[in-house]
A and B are shown apart, each in its own frame.
Chain A
Amino acid sequence: MNYEPVIGLEIHVELLTRTKMFCGCPTMFGAEPNTLVCPVCLALPGTLPVINRSAVEFALIVGLALNCNVGGFTQFHRKNYFYPDLPKGYQISQYDYPLARKGYLDLEGDSSRRIGITRVHLEEDTAKLLHPGDTGRITEAEYSLVDFNRAGIPLMEIVSEPDIHSTEDARLFMVSLRDLLRYLGVSDCNLEEGSMRCDANISIRKKGESAFGVKTEIKNINSFKYLQQGLEYEIKRQIGALDHGDKLVQETRHFDSRTGRTSSLRSKEYAHDYRYFPEPDLVPMNIREEYIQELKSRISELPQQRIVRYQRDYGLSKDQAELLTSNPALCKFFEESSAICTDYRSVYNWIFSEVSAFLNEKSILIDESKITPRNLAELITLINQGKISGKIAKEIATEIFKSGESPVDIIESRGLTQISDESDIKQIIDEVISENPKAAQDFRSGKTSALAFLVGQVMKKSRGRANPDIVNSMLQQSLKEQ
């Protein structure tokens, strides 16, 4: 029998706002437990939520980038259920009036592979439960601890239509979404730290049918690989069941990365009744059209468009353009540097070799380092003008990273200009020949390898400042003359 999978994804991302969704606590990752908390996110009696404006803005920007309808009336609802990681006993979320709805994402910019976006909404994250014990599993722990640092961090949920029909496209959808969200600067989408998580709904039907089969939901997937593996397992399992004439049940399943299998968590018959109702502590919002227009102008260029522009205007390859586009801060740096220095290829190469190596070593972002687009542009220009060698340039770069001084200042203060004046070089060459008579003799008697040694000595004596091409030709000439 010929089956096709029907897949829809729900993706949760933590937003990169400075503060939490409904209070002023910072959103840092990795702080000591229960240090980033206040009466509001601990749900102390009498506290009230206040909406984080920049979280709303981020969700609207994402809505626009995903071609959604945004604007007009929108409101928060309470989703009621009991769990120790939910301090208020309800989660403030959105229900029938999300911030954005009815959009789409084209896989690889191809409108024939369009995945519908049902909705984009905001909610608050829950606290983190820790289960002391060797395994860290709830069933083997005597008690559990709650860390409320994560409680209240803004969470954006993006729900796709069931338009995905292969596990590869599911993976691609999630990757594209990650790239888009990173590009827009709304989330770091770090799957390992849990700032991007995915629930996948999947059912099977015979090819050509339009009705949906019985679906299962794989919860809390935190890797692209697991998404694909989990879905592949589910497809096989569901097809196997149908071929055997077994009945599938609608249920929530868990993917175990060690076994590569999914197992049943709970069936939908035990589904919660969340008793949604409008959050009375918050007033509904009315998003004005002028505001939407302002946000639109801010995201005028999307990743696919930028990749094309980089290839066209800077002569980068597709791979190079994609790599650069995936990092908005580097894009900005590249474009600013390229506005001063038109050797785009060198600018690109420097950013992805010396500069990146330095940033990685220090674990900092480019905005946090002392190098500026102008520094880099000047440095490359100096190399191209033959004023400094590549080796000296690297030394200067190290100095820029440290002090932030301009390359010209560094060269002047340390006398690092390349020596191209022949009379200066001639003097050093003469010294080297008289200090190394044996090597000079060896060269004259036909041992060409001695030349490299002598060039090295000249370079050393000039502290690397002599122009190596000139040294080479002048040295040969001097040796022959003497």
Chain B
Amino acid sequence: MRFYELTALQLLDLYKKREAKPSEVIESIFERIYEDDRGLKCYLTLTPERALADAKILDLKLKNSDEFGVLFGIPTAVKDLISTRGIRTTCASKILENYVPVFDATVVKKLVESDFLMVGKTNMDEFAMGSSNENSAYGPVKNPWDITRVPGGSSGGSAAAVAAGHATVALGSDTGGSIRQPASFCGIVGLKPTYGFVSRYGLVAFASSLDQIGPMTRTVEDCALLLSVISGHDLLDSTSIKRESVDYLGSLRRDVKGIKVGVPKELSGEGIDGQVLAVFRAALARMEKIGVKVEETSLPNIKYALPAYYLIAPAEASSNLARYDGVKYGFRDDGASGIREMYRRTRAKGFGREVKRRIMLGTYALSAGYYDAYYGQAQKVRTLIIKDFSDAFSRYDLLVSPTSPSTAFKLGEKVDDPLNMYLSDICTIPVNLAGLPAISLPCGQSDGLPVGFQIIGPHFSEERILNAAYALERELGLNWTVK
């Protein structure tokens, strides 16, 4: 049986009926990975020995007990900037090429406690900086829908792995769209939770005030399942919020009739590809059909989101990445004669172009004499954007937009045009600045490539978002198989 094609809920059902064993399922996944000759490069590290050993233990559990963890025997991919004890965690950077963590991230601990199976660590843009996965120091991931195209980024490896059946579910991280945009490009579901809802302990920091770990799955149900495992308060993360996780699966089927949805005109007009817009509008019409009230609205300050983001995120990154100095762990250039030169050579060789570009941007934005004009001003914009959203949510239950202005673009198409590349996240970035939860789910195709539909909600409205996403998913009935 082709277990790799099944969703987490389908696998759990088979386990409960004793019609599948975790070891068979994980073998099916690794077979799929090894036999797939398209060179997708979803993973930087595969962990078959550990997965198989864990699976054999679960086989025994299955035989002897009826107590299953929530993710019992579910083959899971973990983005390579989430710390895994004893398993290399590179962040797709040369500077951490041989770095092996001594501790598990809080989310990984939670996965372990829920009986998951780890397939491996997924490829990504270096330190999560990028929208195409072309910034990986180990070569780009390819889109399983069309291998001449990018899978999106930065969680491109996780998105491609789930879409191609190289994993059943995956964890990604989202700083400006890094879960939702690749989910959109690869035709899967990706959720960025409310800031503070999933612990960041063990997530290698890109921009601390924006980063958030979230689920990437083939269905909304699987997304709900994974979210219920990874969310919740963590004492090790001071920005984590004291709110416990709930059973999101249980409330998915609630009726959405009568809920009010706003469509921000700034995210659904100019700058968005015409065909993407058409697919998006068709999906909107289907939402109305199931009783959702749809109205156009406005987020007037959203035009400042991109510049504000490209000051705040690089500023925090410039500081977060200072620890990669060749002194304690990771890559060190040995040719230097003094400490200053060692720093320079290590960081010059260890970091890729985009990472260096952002470190420089951020260092500049924080410099004496420029702080108020750049970082300070960007924080004010952030406050305005938060207010725009809260005004909108006083009138609407949810906001919706296309996830990305385009479908997956060609590999190499935007590499030399960083500004154009940055525009790829125009619809997702404002959500991170406001710390809101948002999901991307497939809503159709344009020229044979998937189009993503973004649903944004107020803080801690994950239940409402998943509920609406599930209703739309059922109404659209796309039922795409693995690519």
Contact across chains for A51 and B323 when beta carbons are under 8 A apart? no
CA distance A283 to B329 in the complex (A): 28
Shortest CB-to-CB span from A8 to chain B, Å, is 22
Chain A neighbourhood of B228, CB < 8 A: none
Does residue A90 face the partner (Cβ distance < 8 Å to B)? yes
Does residue A71 face the partner (Cβ distance < 8 Å to B)? no
Does residue A451 face the partner (Cβ distance < 8 Å to B)? no
Shortest CB-to-CB span from B337 to chain A, Å, is 11
Contact across chains for A46 and B83 when beta carbons are under 8 A apart? yes
Contact across chains for B201 and A48 when beta carbons are under 8 A apart? yes
- The segment from B146-154, B204-212, B404-412 that touches chain A is B204-212
The chain A residue sitting closest to B235, CB to CB, is: A50
Does residue A45 face the partner (Cβ distance < 8 Å to B)? yes
Contact across chains for B238 and A46 when beta carbons are under 8 A apart? no
- Given A281-B239, A283-B238, check contact A45 B99 (CB 8 Å): yes
Contact across chains for B323 and A80 when beta carbons are under 8 A apart? no
Chain A neighbourhood of B323, CB < 8 A: 43, 45, 87-89
Chain B neighbourhood of A49, CB < 8 A: 238
Contact across chains for B375 and A50 when beta carbons are under 8 A apart? no
- Given A45-B101, A48-B201, check contact A283 B239 (CB 8 Å): yes
Contact across chains for B103 and A39 when beta carbons are under 8 A apart? yes
- Given A277-B375, A280-B209, check contact A44 B329 (CB 8 Å): yes
Chain A neighbourhood of B89, CB < 8 A: 45-46
Label chain B's interface by main secondary structure: loop
Q: Quick one: which of A49, A78, A80, A89 has the most chain B CB within 10 A?
A: A89
Among A44, A50, A89, contact of B236 (Cβ-Cβ < 8 Å): A50
The chain A residue sitting closest to B91, CB to CB, is: A45
CA distance A49 to B201 in the complex (A): 9
Shortest CB-to-CB span from B370 to chain A, Å, is 10
- Given A46-B205, A49-B238, check contact A78 B102 (CB 8 Å): no
Shortest CB-to-CB span from A160 to chain B, Å, is 25
Contact across chains for B103 and A90 when beta carbons are under 8 A apart? no
Contact across chains for A89 and B325 when beta carbons are under 8 A apart? yes
Contact with B along A398-432 (1 / 0, CB 8 A): 00000000000000000000000000000000000
Does residue A362 face the partner (Cβ distance < 8 Å to B)? no
Contact with A along B94-115 (1 / 0, CB 8 A): 0010010111010000000000
The chain B residue sitting closest to A39, CB to CB, is: B103
- The segment from B41-49, B129-137, B314-322 that touches chain A is B314-322
Contact across chains for A44 and B239 when beta carbons are under 8 A apart? no
Contact across chains for A46 and B105 when beta carbons are under 8 A apart? yes
Shortest CB-to-CB span from B67 to chain A, Å, is 31
- B interface, size bucket: 35 or more
Contact across chains for B202 and A46 when beta carbons are under 8 A apart? yes
Does residue B1 face the partner (Cβ distance < 8 Å to A)? no
The chain A residue sitting closest to B340, CB to CB, is: A82
Contact across chains for A84 and B327 when beta carbons are under 8 A apart? yes
Does residue B203 face the partner (Cβ distance < 8 Å to A)? yes
The chain B residue sitting closest to A78, CB to CB, is: B319
Contact across chains for A282 and B325 when beta carbons are under 8 A apart? no
Contact with A along B70-89 (1 / 0, CB 8 A): 00000000000111000001
Chain B neighbourhood of A43, CB < 8 A: 323, 328
- Given A39-B102, A46-B105, A80-B322, check contact A280 B316 (CB 8 Å): yes
Does residue B252 face the partner (Cβ distance < 8 Å to A)? no
- Given A45-B323, A277-B375, check contact A50 B238 (CB 8 Å): yes
Contact across chains for B201 and A47 when beta carbons are under 8 A apart? yes
Contact with A along B13-57 (1 / 0, CB 8 A): 000000000000000000000000000000000000000000000
Contact across chains for B343 and A82 when beta carbons are under 8 A apart? yes
Among B81, B91, B208, B339, contact of A84 (Cβ-Cβ < 8 Å): B339
Contact across chains for B319 and A275 when beta carbons are under 8 A apart? yes
Interface residues of A in 178-200 (CB under 8 A from B): none
Chain A neighbourhood of B339, CB < 8 A: 84
The chain A residue sitting closest to B209, CB to CB, is: A280
Does residue B419 face the partner (Cβ distance < 8 Å to A)? no
Does residue B237 face the partner (Cβ distance < 8 Å to A)? yes
Contact across chains for B319 and A277 when beta carbons are under 8 A apart? yes
CA distance A50 to B238 in the complex (A): 6
Contact across chains for A44 and B208 when beta carbons are under 8 A apart? no
Chain B neighbourhood of A89, CB < 8 A: 319, 321-323, 325
- The segment from B285-293, B361-369, B445-453 that touches chain A is B361-369
- Given A39-B102, A50-B236, A281-B239, check contact A275 B83 (CB 8 Å): no
Among A45, A82, A87, A281, contact of B208 (Cβ-Cβ < 8 Å): A281
CA distance A342 to B476 in the complex (A): 91
Shortest CB-to-CB span from A152 to chain B, Å, is 14
Does residue B371 face the partner (Cβ distance < 8 Å to A)? yes
CA distance A87 to B322 in the complex (A): 9
Contact across chains for A275 and B101 when beta carbons are under 8 A apart? no
Contact across chains for B328 and A45 when beta carbons are under 8 A apart? no
Does residue B200 face the partner (Cβ distance < 8 Å to A)? yes
Shortest CB-to-CB span from A91 to chain B, Å, is 11
Contact across chains for A282 and B209 when beta carbons are under 8 A apart? no
The chain A residue sitting closest to B339, CB to CB, is: A84
Does residue A295 face the partner (Cβ distance < 8 Å to B)? no
CA distance A80 to B321 in the complex (A): 11
Shortest CB-to-CB span from A322 to chain B, Å, is 43
Among A47, A50, A275, contact of B367 (Cβ-Cβ < 8 Å): A275
- Given A43-B328, A45-B101, A275-B367, check contact A281 B319 (CB 8 Å): no
Interface residues of B in 201-225 (CB under 8 A from A): 201-205, 207-209
Contact across chains for B238 and A282 when beta carbons are under 8 A apart? yes
Chain A neighbourhood of B238, CB < 8 A: 48-51, 281-283
Does residue A146 face the partner (Cβ distance < 8 Å to B)? yes
Chain B neighbourhood of A276, CB < 8 A: 366
- Given A42-B328, A44-B102, check contact A277 B315 (CB 8 Å): yes
Contact with B along A429-471 (1 / 0, CB 8 A): 0000000000000000000000000000000000000000000
Interface residues of A in 70-96 (CB under 8 A from B): 78, 80, 82, 84, 87-90
Does residue A209 face the partner (Cβ distance < 8 Å to B)? no
Shortest CB-to-CB span from B402 to chain A, Å, is 29
Q: Quick one: which of A42, A90, A280 has the most chain B CB within 10 A?
A: A280
Contact across chains for B371 and A277 when beta carbons are under 8 A apart? yes
Chain A neighbourhood of B319, CB < 8 A: 78, 80, 89-90, 275, 277
Chain B neighbourhood of A78, CB < 8 A: 319
- Given A39-B102, A39-B103, check contact A45 B201 (CB 8 Å): no
Does residue A481 face the partner (Cβ distance < 8 Å to B)? no
14 A-B pairs whose Cβ atoms sit less than 8 Å apart in the complex: A43-B323, A46-B81, A46-B101, A46-B204, A47-B202, A48-B201, A48-B236, A48-B238, A51-B238, A276-B366, A277-B316, A277-B366, A280-B316, A282-B239
Known: A46-B105, A89-B323. 17 other contacts (CB 8 A): A43-B328, A45-B99, A45-B101, A45-B204, A46-B89, A47-B202, A48-B201, A48-B237, A50-B238, A82-B322, A87-B323, A89-B325, A90-B319, A90-B322, A273-B368, A281-B208, A283-B238
Give 8 nearest A-B pairs by CB, closest first. A89-B322, A280-B208, A275-B366, A280-B209, A45-B204, A46-B83, A46-B202, A46-B204
A-side residues, CB < 8 A to B, are 39, 42-51, 78, 80, 82, 84, 87-90, 146, 273, 275-277, 280-283
